[in-house]
Structure formats: structure tokens, C-alpha cells
Amino acid sequence: MVLRLKIRICYRDRCIETVAIASSGFIGRDPEITLPRSLVEKLLGRNFSTVIVEKVLADGSIVDLERISESLKLYLLTEDRVIGPVDVHAYIIRGRFVLLNDATLSTLRIVIIDPRDGIWCFRDELGRRERRGI
């Protein structure tokens, strides 16, 4: 099991809700996510602008990734809170999973307690509450 979180991603007046994986191996200076092309087209339609960005992966390899030109708004949805919006850059991938990088997790103030069992909390809950991922 991994930590899965419910999120809402918005672009202008359109929003979609989905589940994202809190990926501690997806690093970056700025909040970033990966989005499958099918979700990108659902959110932005078929006509959108992208740029190619050179990205260093966690293993040190370098790849060129397609990134949506404009930032998106991301919200974290829990049973008792909605956190956000956080401006995120989104990379388009062939895979099917939405991943949240470490900067996004930090901006959302998420502390991963047990990544295998999907246990986490918000920073202001540390030592007082444990949450389970979706």
C-alpha cells in the first residue's frame, strides 16, 4: 500500500477530483504533479500549450518531460479540511497515476508517518492524530 490522497485540480473554471499518490521519490524545488494525458484532456480540453522541461529523476537520470505551460490549482480534500489552493506545475505522463512531489506535500503541510501503510497527518497534528490515506 502507498499513501493515496484525494485531491481537486482546477484550471480556470474547470475542476476534477481524483486520487493522487504522495511520492517521496518525486523531488523538486517547486510544487509539481504528474497527470495522465486523459486527465489533462478532461481538465484542459484538447488544445493546451506545453513546454519541454529537462528533469532530473530520483535515480539521477535526466529526462525531457512535457509540462503544461500554465500552473494549475490543487486542493487536498479530507473529511474535515480542504487545504489549498496550491499552484502546481503539471507534467504530462503516459502512466495512469497522479503523483505529488515532495514540495507539494510540504506546501500542503503533510507529514508521512508510515508510507507503506498510508498513515499521515498534517504538521499541526503531529503526535496527536494519525490519518489513513484513501
pLDDT tens figures, 62-94: 888 999 999 999 999 999 999 999 999 999 998
So what's the pLDDT on residue 109? 97
- The answer to the question of residue 31 being in a domain is yes
18-40 mean pLDDT: 90
- The answer to the question of residue 72 being in a domain is yes
So what's the pLDDT on residue 47? 85
- The answer to the question of residue 132 being in a domain is no
- The answer to the question of residue 133 being in a domain is no
- The answer to the question of residue 33 being in a domain is yes
So what's the pLDDT on residue 24? 62
Q: How many distinct structural domains can be found in the chain? A: 1
Domain of residue 44, CATH code: 2.40.70.10
- The answer to the question of residue 134 being in a domain is no
Average pLDDT over the chain reads: 92
Domain that holds residue 30: 4-126
Hey, which bits of the chain come out as E strands? 4-11, 14-22, 32-36, 50-56, 62-68, 72-77, 82-93, 98-100, 110-114, 119-122, 131-132
User: Residue 64 and residue 108: Cα distance in Å, rounded?
Assistant: 27
So what's the pLDDT on residue 55? 80
So what's the pLDDT on residue 133? 94
